[in-house]
Amino acid sequence: MTDPYRFSGSPAGQGRRNDAAPRGRRTAIRGVLWTLLILGAAGNAVTSLSGFSALISLGFGLVTVLCIVLLIVDHFRHRR
């Protein structure tokens, strides 16, 4: 019995995105974003607890939030 939910014989290249980054470059970008996210979160925690200026802590917080947003965008752009 054949599976009615399986696609078969789809044209070559159909459904693929032309703007997708190569696998190696995408992995490198995600690695950098995760590293910046961890450093930003750690910097935010250290500056918040050490009594540094609130602007420095805010800067680290913004970097952290920006990395989170970019990782989410990357996930939804490249999901299958």
Token pair of 12 as six digits? 């070559």
Domain extent at residue 43:
23-78
Indicate if the alpha-carbon torsion angle 39, 55, 45, 71 is positive or negative: negative
Under 8 Å between Cβ of 74 and 26: yes
Query: Which pLDDT score, from 0 to 100, does residue 42 have?
Result: 97
> Looking at the 3D structure of the chain, how many domains does it have?
1
Token pair of 48 as six digits? 């918040």
Token pair of 50 as six digits? 């050490």
Residue 39 in domain: yes
Residue 62 in domain: yes
pTM of the predicted model over 0.75 = no
Q: What is the pLDDT along the chain (80 residues), one digit of tens a residue?
A: 677 777 666 555 555 555 556 777 888 999 999 999 999 999 999 999 998 999 999 999 999 999 999 999 999 998 87
Closest C-alpha among 30, 38, 26 to residue 71: 30
Residue 60 in domain: yes
